[in-house]
Structure 1
Amino acid sequence: MKRFFPVYVRVPLIFFLSFGLIEYLIDSGDKPAFIEYPSVLLLLGLILLVLIAIEIVVNASNNILNQLMTPEERAEKERLENMPFSQLPAIKKLLQKLTKSKSIKEEKEIELEHEYDGIKELDNVLPPWWVYLFYSTVIFGVIYLGKYHLFGGENQYQELDKELAIAQKEIEEYKKTAPDLLTADQVVLLTEPADIAAGKALFDSNCVACHRADGGGGIGPNLTDEYWILGGDVKDIFNTIMEGGRDGKGMVAWKQQIKPTDIQKIASFILTLQGTNPADAKAPEGDKVAPVATN
């Protein structure tokens, strides 16, 4: 078998099988085990050295045995090593069991009595592998019929619908506790000083170019009065920052640049600017909305 699995195939194959087994047995998280645990790298190196040492010892032993063999034994060994795979005794025996074929010398035993133009027909039996495969398909068919047509087993579409429903339920549960998947209907007004301070810092970094540091408005509308173009509730402000202003004009959507939890903080900070009346504030735009209490 060494002819079919030479040393340059055996050693890498066994080494990578060992590597895969170690990765399977050791829970190293997202990192490979040999990176998370340096001792694993040493173990893999030791395995490689042992494999190489075994190959060296085996080759040396074979050379010694070859020298001790008679010319006839050596010739027989070479004949077996160079024999085609299909002619190996074990393979021939296996094929015989799987096919029950007759050799050319035995074909006389299964010849039928008729012939045509010198062509004779052989009464070969069906190959056992084919017969067993046929029996297995019959058994599978009976089980399939019973499960899906007699006992109401779920078909593929029903299984898919069931799995999708479970997945959707898991997504909804995850959304309830995943802050960065915050949606407008989940937003509440934040009043903690730390949240307001964080909202102000984010506002100063991203919004002052259009709304001014005091919220009085520039390119964008005034955020300190009672008039709002797209609604003045915290949910409305959150949605406007997330999705952008009116189509074709107004503010761009910020959902790709700012996390939803941070947008909630910005919206909460903006509502603290209500009634501050900065100097040179921009004229009101939109509809009047009742002031929102922020404390």
Structure 2
Amino acid sequence: MKKYFQSLAYLVFIAVTFWAITKAIQVYEKPFSLYENPLVWIAVVALVLVILMKELLNIVAQKKAEDLILEKEGINPAEVDNWAWYKKLIKRWTKAKAIEEEDEIILDHNYDGIKELDNSLPPWWVYMFYATMIFGAVYLVRYHVLGADSQEMEYNKAMAEARRELDAFKATSKDAVIDAATVTALTSDSDLSRGKAVFNLNCAACHAPDGGGGIGPNLTDKYWVLGGGIKNVFTTITNGGRPGKGMVAWGKTLKPKDIQKVASYILKFQGTTPAKPKKAEGELYEEETSTETETVEQAKDSIQ
């Protein structure tokens, strides 16, 4: 009776615990979050432990029953080789000869008492060799006869698809990746305020708080070492100044959004009068008129 009661209690525990875990997965948003729902993990661990203990008891009980059967047949359980099946399997897959049977495969020649055994190749090695031959034939037909895509072709296709997805993301996402090709000048007070904070923290030491220049060039005139305008300033801040000298590359430290904001703030220095302006450096930069603007102006002239 006790045995049946234990089995019933085991089945009830498994069923209830499994139902509770299933219900938690359906109800909780993050059922397996250890911090939000620790009881779920406790139930899972308890379920696994109970199942393992039950199986272990079954194995022990089965082993005792087998030992009793052997004792009734007059066989000592300690003398039974429980690994006989494993040894038989290894012998079948290696065709290994026992030391006592090596006389059957010794070759006639020897050198200084050194003899050679005429062992056959292990079946596992032979079957693996056959498998490589089949694989080689399939590979030859697929890639050299039928012309399937090579690894290089697959890589190029994957990269092209990734570029298309990135372009689509940039075109539709409000938080698109900002780079020199897509950056635009910002004008809102919040963006310029953030740009000013970044400038004062990282740039003012070399360019002066009012942009008049110091170690770095003057930012208030129209002369630029690496070009003016939002795109050139963004690129210069990101990649740094001239090789071997000049400003470090801030792209490794600042986020693209912050570089855009500080570049927009720097452009606001244009035309201002710093306290101690540094002598102009670089070349005169004039903002290029866009093709679209020229087209509009031409259209207006033709109408007039």
**Pairwise TM-score range, normalised by the shorter structure:** 0.5 to 0.7
Partner Cα distance (1:55, 1:180) in 2: 56
Name the residue aligned to 1:228.
224
Name the residue aligned to 1:85.
85
**Matched residue count:** 236
Name the residue aligned to 2:181.
185
Name the residue aligned to 1:238.
234
Partner Cα distance (1:213, 1:74) in 2: 100
Name the residue aligned to 1:165.
160
Letter in 2 for 1:49: L
1:268 CA displacement:
0.7
Letter in 2 for 1:251: M
* Structure 1 residues 148 and 227: CA distance shift in structure 2, 3 A: closer
1:50 CA displacement:
0.9
Name the residue aligned to 1:102.
none
* Structure 1 residues 201 and 160: CA distance shift in structure 2, 3 A: closer
Q: How does 1:126-275 map to 2 (within 5 A)?
A: 141=137, 147-173=142-168, 177=173, 181-275=177-271
1:277 CA displacement:
0.9
For the Cα contact (< 8 Å) 1:180–1:259, is it kept in 2?
A: no
For the Cα contact (< 8 Å) 1:222–1:282, is it kept in 2?
A: yes
Give per-residue Cα distances to partners, 1:12-58, cap 9 Å, x unaligned: xxxxxxxxxx9xxx8xxxx9946375344213421343145325533
Q: How does 1:38-53 map to 2 (within 5 A)?
A: 38-53=38-53
Superposition CA RMSD, Å: 4.5
Q: Which segments of 5 or more consecutive residues in structure 2 lack a partner in the other structure?
A: 1-20, 95-107, 109-122, 289-304
For the Cα contact (< 8 Å) 2:70–2:76, is it kept in 1?
A: no
For the Cα contact (< 8 Å) 2:237–2:251, is it kept in 1?
A: yes
Partner Cα distance (1:134, 1:81) in 2: 35
Partner Cα distance (2:56, 2:139) in 1: 54
For the Cα contact (< 8 Å) 1:200–1:269, is it kept in 2?
A: yes
Letter in 1 for 2:229: D
Give the 3-state SS of the residue equivalent to 1:282 in structure 2.
Answer: coil
Letter in 1 for 2:253: Q
* Structure 1 residues 138 and 285: CA distance shift in structure 2, 3 A: closer
* Structure 1 residues 152 and 77: CA distance shift in structure 2, 3 A: same
**Given the two structures, how large is their TM-score scaled by the length of structure 1?**
0.61
Partner Cα distance (1:170, 1:265) in 2: 26
Partner Cα distance (1:227, 1:140) in 2: 66
**Given the two structures, how large is their TM-score scaled by the length of structure 2?**
0.59
Q: Which segments of 5 or more consecutive residues in structure 1 lack a partner in the other structure?
A: 1-21, 100-115, 117-126
Give per-residue Cα distances to partners, 1:52-111, cap 9 Å, x unaligned: 5325533663476368546343626555543523466xx59x95xx99xxxxxxxxxxxx
For the Cα contact (< 8 Å) 1:242–1:253, is it kept in 2?
A: yes
Give the 3-state SS of the residue equivalent to 2:252 in structure 1.
Answer: coil
For the Cα contact (< 8 Å) 1:180–1:260, is it kept in 2?
A: no
* Structure 1 residues 139 and 192: CA distance shift in structure 2, 3 A: closer
* Structure 1 residues 150 and 194: CA distance shift in structure 2, 3 A: same
